[in-house]
Amino acid sequence: MITTPSPTKKVAYVALLTALALIFSYVEAIFPFYIGVPGVKLGIANLVIIITLYMLNVKYAFLIDIIRIIIAGFLFSGMFGILYSLAGGLLSLGLMAILKHTGTFSIIGVSVAGGVMHNVGQLLTAAFVISNIKIFVYFPVLLFSGIICGLVIGMIAWIILRRLPKNIYTSFSKVS
């Protein structure tokens, strides 16, 4: 029998997952996993978002993503960091939710699409902020890095989801 989790349990899950995402953001702020290209990071905090999308649902993933982006922005990158992260994070999550809903793509494929869309969102924001479309010359680099980082995050998420006990999140998946 699956029971609906209490509001307290829901808040606890969101707080725990948000804290984990913030820890990953902090680790990446201290030890940027640059691939030799300015502005390219692995995005390990997005691991929590994609796992939440699959474990719970898009509502929880959205909530955790927004809270994490705002808090991490104030702690590590400032207002422009929040602006860029919100653009990338919301576009990424939106596409990942759509692709997951279709059931056509694996978690790895969904993660790759999310990684690419995150970079597209940040590039669109940068073009708007500096009022210059020439910044899109950087798109091939961001496309490639989004694919690679999305693959890495997707594979890690796939491994984690396979190892997590199903009873941790089955009651949440029935709740909208």
pLDDT in tens, 120-138: 998 899 888 888 887 888 8
End-to-end CA distance of the chain: 18
Confidence check: pLDDT of 108 > 90: yes
**Sequence-distant (≥ 6) Cβ neighbours of residue 81 within 8 angstroms:** 72, 73
- Please indicate, yes or no, if residue 13 is contained in any of the structural domains: yes
- Please indicate, yes or no, if residue 141 is contained in any of the structural domains: yes
Residue 56's Cβ-side half-sphere holds a number of Cα atoms within 13 Å equal to 22
- Please indicate, yes or no, if residue 59 is contained in any of the structural domains: yes
| Cα–Cα distance for residue pair 21/167, rounded to 1 Å | 22
- Its domain, for residue 81, covers 7-173
- Please indicate, yes or no, if residue 2 is contained in any of the structural domains: no
| Structural domains counted in the chain | 1
- Please indicate, yes or no, if residue 168 is contained in any of the structural domains: yes
Read off the pLDDT of residues 35-44 as tens digits, 9 standing for 90 and up. Answer: 566 667 788 9
- Please indicate, yes or no, if residue 62 is contained in any of the structural domains: yes
**Sequence-distant (≥ 6) Cβ neighbours of residue 21 within 8 angstroms:** 45, 48, 49, 64, 65, 68, 72
- Please indicate, yes or no, if residue 162 is contained in any of the structural domains: yes
For residue 53, the domain's CATH number is 1.10.1760.20
- Please indicate, yes or no, if residue 122 is contained in any of the structural domains: yes
Kindly report the pTM of this predicted structure: 0.86
